[in-house]
Amino acid sequence: MSEFNEQSTTRDVIAGISLAGKLAMVTGASSGLGVETARTLAAAGATVVMCARDSGKLEAAVAEVRAAVPGAQVETLIMDLADLVSVRAAAAEALSRFPSIQLLINNAGVMACPLMRTAQGFEMQFGTNHVGHFLFTCLLAPALQAGAPGRVVNLSSAGHKFANFNFDDPNYREREYEKWQAYGESKTANVLFSVGLDSRLKSHGVRAFAVHPGVIMTGLARHMDEADFATLSERSPKGEALVFKSVEQGAATSVWAATSPDLEEKGGIYLENCKISDSSVQDSSTGVESYALDTSAAERLWTMSEELVEQAFSFDS
């Protein structure tokens, strides 16, 4: 097992790995971790499909990747995860253009926004972070199976510690909205989705992982102010000050999850600091909460998600 840690960068974890002949798709690729993830995968030889909802920002990100990686093989896909009509259209286009996919990095996300709703009325954090990615991934399953062996990486967060998933009112129809609780619930959903997806696709050669990238100053924090950062520190064990990572360190665990030989034959697990996480212990900012890996909760969320997107999925050959 390679000895990487919280200071490891994308350059460290990709060293010696060739992705020539592989196709990687990255959501939320117009800024921050998404751009760095795309750049790193392209530099290793992969064809990278960069997905985002804003075409102008996406084209600027593509130009950044191509400037950093001469000869980079980059494609684009427009998708708004907060609108399932857009997700379905993007997935259909992706299946047509890219019938074989080896890596899917579900990197896009929303954090700590005011109470907002997606086009279909879901609470914005749950709807974007989980429901949109759930539908997109399930619709891409034929291409993932065709491209096997492959991996799906779902960006979660240590924020999953803020809250277990609320099955009674996931969209805040009947309870008072609290943005950090909602964020935590959506991040727990990301881990549970990884558990459920891995159980369904591992027999087809596709494994799923949940990743905590660390605390990084990116566009994800656009809804946050000084008080929010203070709140995050207060929520950390013993009120510890936040420790920030660089973008290259923050994207490292995603890249490691997508490419590391150490993770072959593994899946349905939570990763942080370029390692497999241990179970969380009391007053710890690291590790994964047991409720986020609960298989019965993962199955319950899967059923609920199918109901919300009004489509059931079977991955049998």
pLDDT tens for 63-81 read 999 999 999 999 999 999 9
**CA atoms of 109 and 107, how far apart (whole Å):** 7
Distance CA 125, CA 132 (A): 10
- Residue 109 to residues 43, 112, 130, 245, 272, Cα–Cα distance (Å): 24, 10, 9, 18, 17
* Stated pTM of the model: 0.93
Beta bridge partners of 52: 78
User: What digits encode the pLDDT tens for the residues 171-228?
Assistant: 999 999 999 999 999 999 999 999 999 999 999 999 999 999 988 765 555 555 666 6
Catalytic member of 172, 177, 183, 270: 183
Q: Is 183 a catalytic residue?
A: yes
Residues in contact with 78: Cβ distance below 8 Å, sequence separation at least 6, in sequence order: 51, 52, 53, 55, 58, 86, 90
Bridge partners (DSSP) of residue 155 are 211
Domains with residue ranges and CATH for the chain: 10-303 (3.40.50.720)
- Tens-digit pLDDT profile for residues 95-104: 999 999 999 9
